[in-house]
Amino acid sequence: MCAEDGYPLYRRRFDHQKVHVRKATLDNRWVVPYNPYLLTRYNCHINVEICSGIKAVKYLYKVAVYIAHPDGEAMVDEIQLFQDARWVSAQEAIWRIFEFNLNEMSPAVINLQVHLPGKQCVTYWKNQNLKNLLQWDHVSKTMLTEFFNFNRRNQENKRYLYKEFPEHYVWDKKDRCWNKRKKGEVIGRINGANPAEGERYYLRLLLNHVRGPQSYGDLLTVDGVRCSTFKESAQKRGILESDNSIFDCMNEAVAFKMPHALRRLFATLLVYCQPTNVRKLWDNYFQPMAEDYRRNG
């Protein structure tokens, strides 16, 4: 059977049958998974296990490489360093030998921009006149601002959450607008925000809970009263009354983050998010955060 963390739990019954091997008395509790062919082929003991969870797999694929130059002033060629340090696991090698698809995603995932008012990213050519660029209305249009504008123009439509919007509408990169989806199935995912980012993090929380907002002001307004910050709005809406968002953040991170990164995230949450039940948060995620210490011990 498989444990919750993806590592196998073996059933080793003690049936009182014993054998003597090299002056030692052994029983079924000493048996480990093995492959007879591999034992005879390589004339050595080889454990055979199945990784059925992402927590086990992440230890197989993550490798840290450090390349030092004897001359501290040597030019760094990042491309050459990548080629020299590139590592292909046995799993990836056999996958490429059989020419299987290296990646596939179905349904497609659409990343949704999230930014504070007037803080969107803008791209421009090196010699472009920035004054003309700022006066160009096309530059100020983003997925989020056009989501607001669409809700303002089409108030009779269903009121979707921001992450639900791509399931029904398609983002036109050229004209920077949302159009009715005619085919295909996608999933919307709002770009991540760290609690240390402050207002951007709380803006993302609001977008995940408020349906059909027509502006940033709608997100700031609660029961007809305009809040001064997105955090205050989230608190008055009840989003921050419990630690649900903090637990959701940790649950998502546990799936793919290494223990040292989980500990850093835990500390960040304590400093910036002020959880109401620190003890419960610690007890729930102590095992994932201490995983490397337990296995090294």
Report how far residue 207's alpha carbon sits from residue 219's, in angstroms, rounded to the nearest whole number.
8
The dihedral of CA 125, 131, 137, 139: what is its sign? positive
Report how far residue 78's alpha carbon sits from residue 266's, in angstroms, rounded to the nearest whole number.
32
Q: Fill in the amino acid letter for 108.
A: A
Report how far residue 293's alpha carbon sits from residue 17's, in angstroms, rounded to the nearest whole number.
36
Report how far residue 267's alpha carbon sits from residue 157's, in angstroms, rounded to the nearest whole number.
43
Position 170 scores a pLDDT of: 92
Report how far residue 276's alpha carbon sits from residue 270's, in angstroms, rounded to the nearest whole number.
10
Question: Does 215 or 89 have the greater pLDDT score?
Answer: 215
Q: Which two tokens stand for residue 224?
A: 């007809």
CB atoms inside a 10 Å sphere around CB 35: 12
267 pLDDT band (50/70/90 cuts)? very high
Q: What is the mean pLDDT of residues 193-222?
A: 89
pLDDT-above-70 percentage for the chain: 81
Residue matched to tokens 């002033």 = 73
Position 245 scores a pLDDT of: 77
pLDDT at 297 over 70: no
**Strand runs labelled E in the chain:** 19-21, 24-26, 108-112, 169-172, 177-180, 186-190, 221-222, 225-226
